[in-house]
Structure 1
Amino acid sequence: MRALIAAATGLALALALVLTVSALGPPSGRTSPEPLLTTVPARP
């Protein structure tokens, strides 16, 4: 019975965290205008 209570509590906390994060919305940061510079390895 304790395990069931612990699982229900964990599920409720996880759901509360998801709802809190979704209520806050996306962060107000900006992306860099420059693309990431990556190199492709030469063919062997």
Structure 2
Amino acid sequence: MRALKAAAVGLAAALALVFAVTAIGGPAGRTSPEPLLTTVPAHP
């Protein structure tokens, strides 16, 4: 029974954190229109 209560408290805390972050909103800013390079371009 203690494990069930601990799981319920943990789930409630996690949901509260998610709702708080959602209410505050994400960081302001823009994303770059250029794609990220994952490899070094080959030189001829």
TM range (shorter): 0.5 to 0.7
In structure 1, the partner of 2:29 is 29
Q: Letter of the aligned partner of 1:2 in structure 2? A: R
Q: Which runs of 5+ in 1 are unaligned?
A: 40-44
Q: How many residues align?
A: 39
SS of 1:5's equivalent? helix
In structure 2, how many angstroms separate the alpha carbons of the residues matched to 1:4 and 1:33?
48
Let me know the Cα RMSD of the aligned residues: 1.6
Which TM-score applies when normalising by structure 1? 0.67
Runs of 4+ that moved beyond 4 A: none
TM-score normalised over the length of structure 2: 0.67
Runs of 5+ unmatched residues, structure 2: 40-44
Aligned-residue sequence identity (percent) comes to 77
